Amino acid sequence: MQKNLLLKTGIIVAILLIFVYGMLGPKLFSGGGFQAALLDRIHLGLDLKGGSHLILQVMVNDAVGAQSDHAAEILKDELQKAKVNYADIAKVDSQPEKVVVKGVPLDASSTIRGIVNDRLPEYDVAAGADNSWVLTMKPQQLSDLKDRTLEQSIEAIRTRVDSLGVSEPLIQKNGLGDNQILVQLPGVDDPGRVKEIIQSTARLELREALDHGQSYPTEQAALQAHNGILPANSVVLPAKPRRGEQEGGFIIVSRVPVVGGTDIRSADPGNKSDTNEPIVNFYLTAAAGKKFGTFTAAHSKDSADPSNLAIVLDNKVITAPSINSQINDSGIIEGGFTEESAKDLAMLLRSGALPASLHYLTERTVGPSLGADSIRAGVKAAIAGMAAVLIFMLVYYRGAGVNADLALILNLVILLGFMGFFGAVLTLPGIAGVILTVGMGVDSNVLIFERIREELRSGKAAAAAVDQGFDRAWTTILDTHVTTIVSALILFFVGTGPVSGFGLTLIFGLLANLFTAVFVSRVIFDAVLSRKGRGEALSI
Amino acid sequence: MEFFRNTNIDFLGKKWYFLSFSLIFSVAGVLSMLFWHGIPLGVDFRGGTLVYVKFVDAPNVQSIRGDLDKAGLHNATIQSYGNAADNEVVIRLDLKETSEADLSKGKNQIINALETNPVAGKQDINNSDRIGFTAVRDALLAADPLHAEPAEYDRQARKVLDFRDKDHGGVIKSLDDLKGVVPDSVLNALKQAFYTSNFGVRSADIVGPQVGGQLKKQATLAVGFSLVAMLVYLWFRFEMIYGVAAVVAVFHDTLITVGAFSLTNQEITLTVIAAILTLVGYSMNDTIVVFDRIRENVKMMRRESLAEIVNKSINQTLSRTILTSGLTFLTVLSLYLFGGEVLHGFSFALVVGILIGTYSSIAVAAPMLVAYTEWRSKSSGRGAIPLPAPGAKGKVRVKV
C-alpha cells in the first residue's frame, strides 16, 4: 500500500514536471522571468496579438480563360497554315473552358480534329450549329488547372508574405468553399499594406501606346478621337493617377502585349540618376529581350514609325513614355513611386505574377490596442473565476477542498503544458475555454465528494467511503466527459479560427481533468488516509 | 459546510409548472424570432462591414453622422460601444454596401470620412492599419535625432507604440503627450513625420455574402452534428429514450438561449455559436448525472414506481447539481463582468445557458423519461422500465 502510494506520487510529480516544462519551455532555465517564458511557449491568436484574418477567393476562371485564349491563338495559326478559312475563333466569356470556331467549311472537319488532337490534346472537340466547332477543356484537365492555379496562388502569396517579414503567417486552402485561401497574419505591423501586396496580381506587360501615349479624360473621349472606332487590335485602358491627382485618364494601347508577365526575369528598386526619384528596374528573359529589342528599334523617336511604350501593371497603364532608342533586355519604370512602393513593386515582379486575380471575401482586422485590452480583460476574468472557485471549495469541503484545489491547479498546468507542446494558439474564446474548464473541472471533484459524503452518512468507514465514492462517481464522470469531448471535437473540426482554438482548449482541459480529478485526487485521499488512524474522521 | 442534506422535494409533482415555465420562455423566444427581432445574426453570418472606432474625446454621434453623410455613406449606423468612458463607437454598413469586388471600400470610406483634417506630407500616427513599428522606426532612422545606433531607434519606436497601444487604447491625443516617454529630440522628429487625428480603428470585421452563407451552414451543421452524436452515445450507453429525452432537453436549452438573444436583440456571432455548443455539452453533463443515478437506483429499488425513483435520484444529485452549476456560473459570471466587450455575447450565452441547462436536466429530461414510460406501460400493458441489462453494457469499472 505504502509503496504503491509512493509510486503513484512519483508518477504525478513526473507528469507535473513534464507539463511545467511544456508550459514554460527551455526559457525557464535561461531565466527570463515567468511571463516571458510563458509567452514564448503559448502562442497568442490574432485576436489577442492583433493582426488580420483574411479569406480570399481565387478567380480560377482567369487562368482557364488565359489557357483558352492561348488555345484560340494556336488554332488560328494552325488553320492559317492549313489554309482553312474561318470567320471567328474566340473563347466563350461565360464559359471560359470553351472555345468556339465559327464559319468553317464543311470539308475541313478532319483538319480541325487533327489539329486539336495534335496541338491541343487538353481539349475535346465537337461540331456545333451552323458550321461551328466547340472546343471544351477535358474535365480532368480543367480541375487540374484549377487546382494548380490555387496551389500557385498560395505559393505566390507565401513568397510575398515571407519577403515582408511577417512572423508566423498561416496560409492555406480554406476548407469552407471552393478555391479559397485563408491567410492569417498575427501581429502584422501595417495590415493595410500587406493586404494590398497580397492582392496585387503583379502582371507587368509592355504594350504599344497609340496616339503617342495621349491620355484622354474619359473612355468616351478616347473613342471620339478616332471617330467612334478604335484602331484595329487596340483597347482603352485606365491609367494610374499620378501622385496628387484623383483621376488618371485613359490611354489607347495595343491589344496584345509585346512582352508579357512571364517574360520578366528579375526586378529591383533604384533611384533615377538625375532626379533621385525612386524607380523600378526590370530585366527580361533572353527571348523576350530580343522581341522587345525589335519592337523598340521599330518605334524609337528617330525611326520611321515613332510610337510610345505603355507599361501596364494589372491592366492599369503606369506610364506611357516615348522610346528614346532601342532597348533590349532591361528597362525602368518611373511613375511617382515612393521608396516603399518601388521596393514593393520590385518584390512583386521578382516573386512572379499571380496566375489569377484574387478577391477578398472576409477581412477581420484586430488592432494591436484591442488585443492588449482583451488579454487584460481575459486574464482578469480568469483569475477572478479561478479564485472564486478555489475559495469556495476550501470553505465548503475544508480538508478535501485543499485536495480539489490542488487537482484544479494541476489541471490548469497540464492544460497550458499541452498547449505549449502542441504549439496550440490561445485565442480569446480559448481563454474562456480555460475558465470554463475550471468550472467544469470542479464538477468531477464535486461529484466524487458528494458521493463520499453520502457513503459516510450511510455509516461507512472513511477508507471504504472514499473507495465507494470514487468507484460510483467514475461511470458518471466518464459519461459526462465523453459527451463534452464529443461536442468539443465537433467545434474543433467544423469550426474555424478562434472557435476551433476554443474546441481544442476544451478537449485538452477535459482530458487533463480526467487525470487530475480521478487519479490525482484519489492519491491525495489515500495519502491522507494512510496517515490517519482507524476511525478518525475525514475532513470533507 | 453543507447546503443540502436529504432533500425530499417532489419534482415530478411540479411537472405542470415546469412545462408552463418552459413553454412560456420557448414560445416567447420563438415569437420574437418570428415576429419581433428575428434571429439577430452578427456580421459573421449576415455579412457587412463593422468598424470599431475609438475617439480621443467623447464621440459626438451627430458630427460623425455628418462626416459620413458628406462621404456619401447615408445608410451607416452609428452606435456607442462598451463603457461610455472608452469613447468607442461601432459604425456599420450593411451587406449592400459591402461588395466582394472591393471588400474594404466601405471601411476605407469610413476612415477617410472621419479623417477631417489631414496634414499634407505627414501621416496619421493613430492609423494602426498603416502605422506600426516599422513605420515609426523608419521615420526615426531617417531623421536620426539621437545620432545613435539603429537598435536605439527600435527601442524608441517600441516605446511610442506601447504608449499608443498598451496604455492609451490605440489613440494618442497629441504627440506632446509623449513628452517624457521619449527624448525631446525624438519627439520633434516624430512631429516632423506624423500628426494625430482624433480617432483610431480598434478593429474591423468585413464579411462578404459568400462567406456569411458558408458560416451559417457550418454553424447549423455543427449544432446538428453534436446533437446527433450525443443521441447516439446515450443510446449506446443507456437506452434510446434516455438519449431522446436528453436531446430534447438540450434542444430546449438551445431554443431558449437563442430566444434570449432574440428577445434582447443581441447579435449571434461565431463565438456565440461556440458558447451554445459548449452549453449543449454542459447541459448534457447535468442530464447524464441524473440519468446515471436513475439507472443505478432502478437496479436497487425494485418496488418503487419510476416516478418515485426519478424523484429520489434528482434529490440525491441535487446537491451536486446546484454546487457544480453554481461554481460554473461563478466562473461564467466573472467572464461576463470582467471579460470585456468582445466576449460579451459569448458570456451572455453561457450565463443564460447554464441556468437553463441546470433547470432542464431536472425539469425537462427527467419528467419526459417518466411520461414516456407511463405512456408506454399504459398503451402496451407492460410496465417495463427501459434500462440496460445490468453488467451487459455500460458498466465500466476501473480500479484507480
Record: contact A385-B330, CB cut-off 8 A: yes
> Which residues have CB under 8 Å from A273's CB, separation 6+?
none
Q: What is the CA radius of gyration of chain A?
A: 35
Q: Are A37 and A25 in contact (CB under 8 A)?
A: yes
Listed by number, the residues of chain A in 344-363 with a beta carbon closer than 8 Å to a beta carbon of chain B are 359-363
The pLDDT mean for chain B works out to: 87
* Helix locations, A270-398, DSSP H: 286-299, 339-351, 368-397
Residue B327 CA to residue A437 CA, distance in Å, equals 11
Listed by number, the residues of chain A in 443-482 with a beta carbon closer than 8 Å to a beta carbon of chain B are 443, 446-447, 450, 453-454, 470-472, 474-476, 478-480, 482
Chain A interface, mutation test: which of B166, B254, B334, most A Cβ atoms within 10 Å?
Answer: B334
**DSSP β-ladder status, A425-426 and A234-238:** unpaired
Tens-place pLDDT, residues A46-70 = 888 888 999 999 999 988 988 888 8
Q: How many CB atoms lie within 10 A of CB A313?
A: 23
What residues of B are in contact with residue A499 (Cβ under 8 Å)? 270-271, 273-274
Residue A351 CA to residue A331 CA, distance in Å, equals 18
Distance to chain B for A113, nearest Cα, Å: 40
- In the structure grid, which three cell numbers stand for residue A315, read together? 491592366
Q: Are A382 and A521 in contact (CB under 8 A)?
A: no
DSSP character string of A328-341: -SEEEE-SS--HHH
Percent of chain A with pLDDT over 90: 21
Record: contact A369-B169, CB cut-off 8 A: yes
Comparison of pLDDT for B200 and A39, the residue scoring more: B200
What one-letter code names the amino acid at B375?
W
Give me the pLDDT at residue B359, please. 94
Record: contact A440-B214, CB cut-off 8 A: no
What residues of A are in contact with residue B52 (Cβ under 8 Å)? 370
Reading chain B (400 residues) residue by residue, the pLDDT tens digits are 778 777 888 998 898 999 999 999 999 999 999 999 899 998 888 889 999 999 999 999 999 999 999 888 888 999 888 888 889 999 999 887 777 778 888 898 899 899 888 888 899 999 988 888 888 998 999 899 999 999 999 999 999 999 999 888 889 999 999 999 999 999 999 999 999 999 999 999 999 888 888 888 888 888 888 888 888 888 888 888 999 999 999 999 999 999 999 999 999 988 888 888 888 888 888 898 899 999 899 988 888 888 999 999 999 999 889 998 899 898 889 888 888 888 889 899 999 999 999 999 999 999 999 999 888 888 775 545 555 544 444 444 444 3
> Which residues have CB under 8 Å from A336's CB, separation 6+?
A242, A243
Q: Which of B133, B164, B211 sits opposite A369 (nearest CB)?
A: B164
Record: contact A470-B400, CB cut-off 8 A: yes
Residue B356 touches chain A, beta carbons under 8 Å: no
Tens-place pLDDT, residues A295-347 = 898 888 888 888 888 988 888 888 888 888 888 888 888 877 888 888 888 88
Give me the pLDDT at residue A154, please. 93
| Of A20-24, A263-267, B262-266, B383-387, highest mean pLDDT | B262-266
Record: contact B332-A384, CB cut-off 8 A: no
Listed by number, the residues of chain B in 289-308 with a beta carbon closer than 8 Å to a beta carbon of chain A are 289, 292-293, 296
Give me the pLDDT at residue B66, please. 92
Residue A121 touches chain B, beta carbons under 8 Å: no
pTM over cut 0.90: no
What one-letter code names the amino acid at A281?
N
Record: contact B320-A506, CB cut-off 8 A: no
Of B256, B261, B235, the closest CA to residue B247 belongs to B235
What residues of B are in contact with residue A360 (Cβ under 8 Å)? 100, 103-104, 206, 208
Mean pLDDT over A361-387 rounds to 88
Q: Which of B101, B169, B277 sits opposite A373 (nearest CB)?
A: B169
Q: How buried is B16 (Cβ within 10 angstroms: 0-12 exposed, 13-18 middle, 19+ buried)? A: exposed
Domains A2-49+368-531 and A200-363 share a fold: no
Mean pLDDT over A116-139 rounds to 89
Q: Which CATH superfamily is domain A2-49+368-531 in?
A: Multidrug efflux transporter AcrB transmembrane domain (1.20.1640.10)
Q: Cell 492561348 sits at which residue? A: A70
Listed by number, the residues of chain B in 132-171 with a beta carbon closer than 8 Å to a beta carbon of chain A are 132-135, 161, 164-166, 168-171
Give me the pLDDT at residue B391, please. 42
Record: contact B398-A364, CB cut-off 8 A: no
Give me the pLDDT at residue A535, please. 65
Residue A121 CA to residue A133 CA, distance in Å, equals 15
Record: contact A487-B128, CB cut-off 8 A: no
Give me the pLDDT at residue A10, please. 92
Give me the pLDDT at residue A31, please. 64
Chain B interface, mutation test: which of A173, A480, A496, A513, most B Cβ atoms within 10 Å?
Answer: A480
Question: A62-142 belongs to which CATH class?
Answer: alpha beta
Record: contact B331-A499, CB cut-off 8 A: no
Q: What is the CA radius of gyration of chain B?
A: 29
Going by the DSSP 8-state scheme, the letter that residue B268 receives in this structure is B
Tens-place pLDDT, residues A194-204 = 888 888 888 88
Chain A interface, mutation test: which of B228, B278, B283, most A Cβ atoms within 10 Å?
Answer: B278
What residues of A are in contact with residue B343 (Cβ under 8 Å)? 377-378, 381, 428-429, 432
Give the SS3 label for residue A278: strand
CATH number for B12-42+208-380 (one of 1.20.1640.10, 2.130.10.10, 3.30.230.70, 3.90.950.20): it is 1.20.1640.10
Residue A75 touches chain B, beta carbons under 8 Å: no
Give me the pLDDT at residue A396, please. 92
Distance to chain B for A136, nearest Cα, Å: 28
User: How many contiguous H segments (helices) and E segments (strands) does chain A have?
Assistant: 17, 19
Chain A interface, mutation test: which of B7, B128, B270, B276, most A Cβ atoms within 10 Å?
Answer: B128
Listed by number, the residues of chain B in 199-218 with a beta carbon closer than 8 Å to a beta carbon of chain A are 200-208, 210-211, 214-215, 218
Residue B316 touches chain A, beta carbons under 8 Å: yes
Tens-place pLDDT, residues B60-108 = 999 999 999 988 888 899 988 888 888 999 999 988 777 777 888 889 8
What residues of B are in contact with residue A392 (Cβ under 8 Å)? 327, 330
| Residue A487 reports pLDDT greater than 70 | yes
- CATH architecture assignment, domain A200-363: 2-Layer Sandwich (3.30)
What residues of A are in contact with residue B103 (Cβ under 8 Å)? 359-363
Give me the pLDDT at residue B392, please. 40
Helix (H) or strand (E) holding A238: strand A234-238
Record: contact A450-B320, CB cut-off 8 A: yes
In chain A, where the domains are located: 2-49+368-531, 62-142, 200-363
Phi, psi of A66 (to 5 degrees): -60, -40
Dihedral of alpha carbons A112, A115, A121, A123, sign: negative
In chain B, where the domains are located: 12-42+208-380, 48-206
Chain A interface, mutation test: which of B1, B269, B323, B395, most A Cβ atoms within 10 Å?
Answer: B323
Record: contact A506-B164, CB cut-off 8 A: no
Q: Are A517 and A444 in contact (CB under 8 A)?
A: yes
Give me the pLDDT at residue B140, please. 92
